[in-house]
């Protein structure tokens, strides 16, 4: 009898151990779906960086912002997040335009800009009142609008992007630099355009060197200027260097001393940036900011050159949604008509 009992006990023990092993595996086994999620979370290749792009949507020119956004979204696979900045009365219009067009797929946030932050900081100038519009100064206040991003792209509304915005975002900023811009002397192909329409591309064209305050800066008037219509900015450096406070200081000095004005080349939004960022900015690839398309209704770039360009900028008076203007076909490729019918293109036959 004893050997028989021993065999039964051994069999029972083996059965218990088998059951225990099965239960242990069931409790501790990681479900396949969870395994995959864990791999995804730990794999940097799977983490897609969000590219924040700031664009203003001003009354009367919202179609510009729409075309810019459309061109960016259509030419990249990157994870772009649009911050669309407007004044209180324009926000419902731009939101409706996006949500009722093919742009409804984009990721975006509409941000209200309070023009009261500019009170006492803008000198009234009747010669070009459009340059005094509050949204022209949004670029001064980027850290107030964008809290969660280290690196930000700011674009004027009168641009279209023909390249992959990821390339622009990957612009390297040197240590200690809060922003990158395009130099106005950086691209030989634009020099003929600059000469033909009498544009300035040095500090002399933006600052009043008759004023002692400007001369005291010690900046040569022949120093090459830059265009802040396309900016790649580092928010940590911007805040650390108190860039916004510095820009506001020069705006207030201009109110008191008239150091620059819209009768000069760059109006009132470029000049403070030229002062604050002098000698302290990184360079954007010149093909990522082909500009001056809006300076003359007659002077044109070659079609081949424009096809090679990554970003086109109609800075100047002659905008591609108005008439007269040049290279409007390139801009209209990306324009999406206003579902409400409020914004209309101005054309010779309209």
Indicate if the pLDDT at residue 284 is higher than 70: yes
Give me the chain's average pLDDT, please.
Answer: 86
Percentage of residues of the chain with pLDDT beyond 90: 68
Q: What is the pLDDT of residues 103-159, one digit of tens each?
A: 999 999 999 999 999 999 987 765 555 667 899 999 999 999 988 999 999 999 999
DSSP assignment of 34-93: HHHHHHHHH-GGG-PPEEEEEEE--TT-HHHHHHHHHHHHHT--SEEEEEEEE-TTTHHH
The larger pLDDT score, comparing residue 267 to residue 245, is at: 245
Give the model's pLDDT for residue 36: 35
Q: Cα-Cα-Cα-Cα dihedral of 146, 266, 180, 73, to 10°?
A: 60
Residue 336 · residue 101 · CB < 8 Å: yes
Indicate if the pLDDT at residue 46 is higher than 50: no
Indicate if the pLDDT at residue 350 is higher than 80: no
Write down the domain spans for the chain.
Answer: 51-186+226-241+269-333
Choose the weakest-confidence range: 52-61, 75-84, 178-187, 229-238: 178-187
In this structure, the number of other CB atoms found within 10 A of the CB of residue 175 comes to 7
Indicate if the pLDDT at residue 320 is higher than 50: yes
- CA dist 177 to 58, 203, 240, 281, Å? 29, 20, 11, 5
Pairing of strands 159-161, 179-183: unpaired
Copy the structure tokens of residue 264. 């000069």
Indicate if the pLDDT at residue 266 is higher than 90: no
Give the pTM.
0.84
Copy the structure tokens of residue 316. 């100047």
Cα separation, 139 vs 124, whole angstroms: 20
The larger pLDDT score, comparing residue 297 to residue 16, is at: 297
pLDDT band for 267, please (50, 70, 90 cuts): low
pLDDT band for 31, please (50, 70, 90 cuts): very low
Choose the weakest-confidence range: 137-141, 213-217, 221-225, 239-243: 221-225
Give the model's pLDDT for residue 340: 94
The average pLDDT across 27-49 equals: 44
Residue 221 · residue 135 · CB < 8 Å: no
The larger pLDDT score, comparing residue 131 to residue 97, is at: 97
Indicate if the pLDDT at residue 270 is higher than 80: yes
Copy the structure tokens of residue 23. 């239960």
Pick the CATH number of 51-186+226-241+269-333 from 3.30.540.10, 3.40.50.300, 3.90.550.10, 3.40.30.10: 3.90.550.10
């Amino acid at each position: 009898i004893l050997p028989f009992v021993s065999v039964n006990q051994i069999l029972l023990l083996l059965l218990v151990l088998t059951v225990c092993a099965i239960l242990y595996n069931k409790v501790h086994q990681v479900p396949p779906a969870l395994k995959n999620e864990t791999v995804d979370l730990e794999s940097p290749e799977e983490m897609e960086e969000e590219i924040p792009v700031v664009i203003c949507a001003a009354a009367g020119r919202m179609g510009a912002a729409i075309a810019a956004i459309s061109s960016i979204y259509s030419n990249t696979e990157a994870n772009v997040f649009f911050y669309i900045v407007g004044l209180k009365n324009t926000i419902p219009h731009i939101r409706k335009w996006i949500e009722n067009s093919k742009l409804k797929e984009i990721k975006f946030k509409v941000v209200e800009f309070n023009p009261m932050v500019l009170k006492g900081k803008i000198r009234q100038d009747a010669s070009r009142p459009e340059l005094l519009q509050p949204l022209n100064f949004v670029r001064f206040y980027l850290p107030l609008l964008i809290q969660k991003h280290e690196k930000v792209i700011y674009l004027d509304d009168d641009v279209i992007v023909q390249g992959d915005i990821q390339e622009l975002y990957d612009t390297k900023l040197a240590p200690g630099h809060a922003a990158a811009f395009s130099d106005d002397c950086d691209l030989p192909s634009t020099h003929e355009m600059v000469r033909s329409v009498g544009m300035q591309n040095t500090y002399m064209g933006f600052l009043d060197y008759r004023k002692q305050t400007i001369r005291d800066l010690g900046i040569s008037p022949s120093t090459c200027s830059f265009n802040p219509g396309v900016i790649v900015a580092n928010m940590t450096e911007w805040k650390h260097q108190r860039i916004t406070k510095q820009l506001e200081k020069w705006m207030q000095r201009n109110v008191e001393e008239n150091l620059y004005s819209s009768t000069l080349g760059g109006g009132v939004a470029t000049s403070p940036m030229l002062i604050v960022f002098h000698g302290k900015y990184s360079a954007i690839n010149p093909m990522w900011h082909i500009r001056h398309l809006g300076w003359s209704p007659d002077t044109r770039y070659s079609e081949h050159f424009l096809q090679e360009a990554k970003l086109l900028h109609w800075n100047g008076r002659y905008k591609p949604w108005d008439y007269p203007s040049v290279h409007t076909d390139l801009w209209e490729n990306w324009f999406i008509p206003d579902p409400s019918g409020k914004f209309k293109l101005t054309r010779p036959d309209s």
